[in-house]
Amino acid sequence: MKKSWEVPIQKASLNYIKYFKLARKKQKTPKGNWNVWLILAGRGFGKTWTGAYDIVNYAMQNPNTISAVLAPTFGDLRRVCFEGVSGINQLIPKECFKKQSKAGYNRSTSEIHLWNGSKIMGFAASEPDRLRGSQYHRAWCDELAAWRYPEAFDQLMFGMRLGKKPQVVITTTPRPTQLIKSLFKRRTEDVYVTQGSTYENVDNLAPSALEQFRERYEGTRLGRQELYAEILDDVEGALWNHSMIDKNRVHKEELPEMSKIVIGIDPAVTSNANSDETGIIVASLGENGYYYILEDKSGKYSPDSWGRIAVELFYRYNANMIVAEINNGGDLVERLLRSVDRNVVIKTVHATRGKMIRAEPVSALYEQKKVFHCGSFNELEDQMCSYTGDTRSKSPDRLDALVWALTQLSVSSGKPLWRIS
């Protein structure tokens, strides 16, 4: 009869052998004296599987160690990193959990306890202060480029102080954020960089998805980033760049008292597969005279849905008004918002100037360091940093909503960027 500790050890060994057989060369943990393994890879490359297997193998091969797992939000942490089809729970044999059952996983705290005394702890990067005071042997950071508060990475690194060689594994689709670029520059020092494309994992991706990727994104700037994992330089002629925005980023605890808050909307009046997004941006004017972007709730919505979302934000932020562009929807836009709540304060605006002309004075505010982003808004910021005024490009709905919101706030400040009507 096998002893109680023999079964999990045998299963852990078999698990490592399985990993070694399945993993492609770029998915195998590299040797060497690195502190950070930075995996920059396209959508569908197998980043989650790679990060999850690394942390699982480390915890099972090193008794009584503590590993951390970080994802952009708590929902991402649970849905992708722990419980996803390529997540940690799927990769640990049940015999290797503490008491050799799934009871070794605490869903409410996102913690796993293994038979050998090792522990895997989950954290949301959206709550950086929760990392204070903790310490770890190893960590896995998923989708680092999408973290709203990059300072969570700093808090993690302060805690990487257990064992002889604490190491961090990062899996992310790249964006040219200050943090990603600074790590990439260290690739000849203590950062080991792996880059891979979506097409390296064709055997595990649906043919229809691959066909769609090729049709929609092949040869485009977005495709170079999202499929081929290129860190793209700033777009020539764009009014914004990522460095400009990164320098003006604050945490919610740093926000001042607000004198005005508005919800800016660039609405889509149709609801089908080819419809534009509805831009919905929450912006404010601080009592210190600076502007703050508080939330981006933009997305593809039906008219009823974006109307409800805008009104909900109006009350949640105790906003002064909703500013809605009516170039496409006309009176329908106000009627729709009134149908949700007749008491909401609405100002409708009609664009009489081109997008570029309207956006230029807002860009100037950023250059003057008068606009701050509360956290990161990846889709919005990518749209800002790629907008050149090219009328052939897809409509920058998030940017339009931001421009309307900040322009209205400038009117409230007594220093209007331009006259809106």
- In this predicted model, what pLDDT tens digit does every residue of 356-389 receive, in sequence order? 888 889 999 999 999 999 988 988 998 898 888 7
What average pLDDT does the segment 298-311 reach?
91
Q: What pTM was computed for the model?
A: 0.73
Q: Please tell me the predicted confidence (pLDDT) of residue 78.
A: 94
Q: Please tell me the predicted confidence (pLDDT) of residue 391.
A: 57
pLDDT at 2 over 70: no
Q: Please tell me the predicted confidence (pLDDT) of residue 386.
A: 85
What average pLDDT does the segment 214-227 reach?
81
Q: Please tell me the predicted confidence (pLDDT) of residue 415.
A: 67
Domain edges within the chain: 6-226, 242-412
Three-state secondary structure call for residue 197: coil
* Strand locations in 231-381 (E): 249-250, 258-266, 279-286, 291-296, 321-325, 346-349, 371-374
What average pLDDT does the segment 344-352 reach?
85
**Which residues 6+ apart lie within 8 Å of 392 measured at CB?**
none
Choosing among 3.40.640.10, 3.30.430.20, 3.40.50.300, 2.60.40.3120, the CATH entry for 6-226 is: 3.40.50.300
Q: Please tell me the predicted confidence (pLDDT) of residue 330.
A: 63
What average pLDDT does the segment 6-29 reach?
79
| Best CA proximity match to 155, nearest among 127, 181, 179 | 127
What average pLDDT does the segment 264-292 reach?
87
Q: Please tell me the predicted confidence (pLDDT) of residue 231.
A: 85
Q: Are 177 and 150 in contact, with CB atoms under 8 Å apart?
A: yes
Find which of 24-28, 64-68, 201-205 is predicted with most confidence, using mean pLDDT: 64-68
- Fold classification of 242-412 is Nucleotidyltransferase; domain 5 (3.30.420)
Residue 393 — very low, low, confident or very high, per pLDDT cuts 50/70/90?
low
pLDDT at 102 over 60: no
What average pLDDT does the segment 224-243 reach?
84
d(Cα 329, Cα 151) in Å, to the nearest integer?
A: 41
pLDDT at 420 over 60: no
Q: Please tell me the predicted confidence (pLDDT) of residue 223.
A: 83
What average pLDDT does the segment 128-140 reach?
94
Element (H, E) at 154: helix 151-159
Q: Please tell me the predicted confidence (pLDDT) of residue 357.
A: 85
Name the token pair of 362.
């807002």
Q: Please tell me the predicted confidence (pLDDT) of residue 11.
A: 72
- In this predicted model, what pLDDT tens digit does every residue of 60-77 receive, in sequence order? 999 999 999 999 999 999
What average pLDDT does the segment 189-215 reach?
90
* % the chain with pLDDT above 70: 91
Q: Please tell me the predicted confidence (pLDDT) of residue 1.
A: 43
- In this predicted model, what pLDDT tens digit does every residue of 143-176 receive, in sequence order? 999 998 889 999 999 999 999 999 999 999 998 8
Q: Please tell me the predicted confidence (pLDDT) of residue 122.
A: 96
* % the chain with pLDDT above 90: 54
| Best CA proximity match to 54, nearest among 23, 29, 74, 36 | 29
What average pLDDT does the segment 206-213 reach?
87
